[in-house]
Amino acid sequence: GCTLVGAVDKLAHAPAMGGLKGQATFESWVNFTPTWVALMHRFRHVVFTFWVMVSLLGVYHAETVVSSITSDLATIPGRWQPAYMRDSLQAADALKHKFPSLAGEKAIIRVRRVDGEFVLSDKTHAFCKSLDASVASFLPEGLLLGVDSIYNYWKPTWVSNKPPQFVKELFLTEGDSAMLVVIYLNYSYPEHLDHVVTGVGDMVTNAQLELAGPVAYSVFLGGDLTMRQDMLIAVQSDAAFVHTLTLPIATALLALYFRSLRIMLIPLLTITLSLSASLLITYGASRLLPLHYLVPVLLLCVTLATSVDYCLFFLARLKDEMQKPDGPDKPTYHQAVLASTANGGYAIMTSGIGLAIGFLGLCLFPIDAVVSTGISSAASIVATVAINLTIIPCVLASYPDFWSSAWTAPPPSLSRYEQLSDFAPPKAARAVSKAARPVVPLYCSSCGAPHGGSKFCTNCGAKLPPLTNGVAAAADA
């Protein structure tokens, strides 16, 4: 058979490649393609090991990525900002400097009296005391910074049994039938999200026992704590939606186009590696910048779309090369791999570079969430380009006997749609079976009259056998 080196020499002087030399960058890539494919074949074990390690690290850090999401639209110091954003940040910095415990996220508890009467009573006072004691004994220390309630600013033993109006406006809602209690959270608590959510929920449940009695109260836990947990669940749900719906549809469309179960192993491999690599990139971005909750889902969608497109660019050209009809211009398998790498690889590079530059433009915005989106998306696109330009040539060049029969050359009489081997349409199957039929006589066996192409003899009415393609052509002649 033809060796890879021999295929390189033939491709370099092939007439079909002469018309590809136009732009200098494309000509350089075409000339470098044989060397690139040879390198991928030589270092195939290194390439496979590297991308498998990247994928395993991405899967390993996936849970950390999900737990580090935030809804905070933080900004980068020193960057240009609109006046309203500048004033807001200055106010937030002043609050953090003056009241460090108030600047973090909060868990907000609403206690409502069901009958709509004035909510404050000895039972609500006991409820807040129970929360104070639970927060003070919560471990590890420093995750919960304290409880803030109306009883921190007003005591029922004062002259009036009802608080002043300015205090009521801070903590009482719904016509004074409900009160708000705030638990302040440390910035580092997202690393212990499940532990904090469970602990605060148990605190509220235990404190709710103090409200037992003839008067009914309803208690609701909300605020940043539950919102962060809801965002985490929403991100996991969106990611599951991408994987369980979008990915099967994309895979089915690729299978419909390629019509080869064997060749479909390559898109499944590259898509899996690309998604895993994007998780690792997102993990790295979350170590540098706040990871907004929209970034992981957007990144999965961008990675899936580019991975499917780039694999299609590559394998579509390979399919065209391998399905060329027999003749002097029909390339060998190795020449088909080199041609698809030269053409599909160049399209992948130019498309990936353009998309990456476009996403890097988001880094000009002063908001961390937008910057992290731009950096993560650009890096994931570059990783997807690298995976398709290394894995696909490596796989195709390393196992030629397995892939060379994925598509076979079609019979010349079949249309382009019928030039498929693994899933031959009924029309193609009928054409092949008709071509294989034995030749039948051109004359009626009863009276010797010419066949005429009909089902019955026009002279004696005897039933005639059907004509094959070759016989029908001869009859017409």
As a whole number of Å, the end-to-end CA separation of the chain is 43
Query: What amino acid is encoded at 454 in this protein?
Result: S
* SS3 at position 463: strand
HEC per residue, 366-400: CEHHHHHHHHHHHHHHHHHHHHHHHHHHHHHHHCH
Instruction: Please tell me the predicted confidence (pLDDT) of residue 72.
Output: 61
Amino acid at 459: N
With 50 as the cut, is the pLDDT of residue 164 above it? yes
Indicate the SS3 state at residue 313. helix
Q: In which residue are the tokens 């908001």 written?
A: 367
- pLDDT value of residue 441: 47
Question: What pLDDT does 420 receive?
Answer: 36
Per-residue pLDDT band at 155 (split at 50, 70, 90): confident
Query: Which neighbouring-strand residues pair with 148?
Result: 182
Query: pLDDT by residue (tens digit) across 371-415?
Result: 888 999 999 999 999 999 999 999 998 888 888 877 654 444 434
Q: Chain-centre distance of CA 124, in angstroms?
A: 48
Position 159 pLDDT exceeds 80: no
For residue 422, what pLDDT band results from cuts at 50, 70 and 90? very low
Go through the chain and tell me how many residues it has. 477
Asked if the bond preceding 140 is cis, omega within 30° of 0, the reply is yes
The set of residues, in sequence order, having a beta carbon less than 8 Å from that of 227 and lying 6+ positions away, is 71
Place of tokens 């209690």: 181
Q: Output 249 or 217, whichever has higher pLDDT.
A: 217
Q: When comparing pLDDT for 248 and 456, which is higher? A: 248
State pTM to two decimals: 0.62
Q: For residue range 33-62, list pLDDT tens digits in order.
A: 999 999 999 999 999 999 999 999 999 998
Nearest-angstrom CA–CA distance, 45 and 33: 20
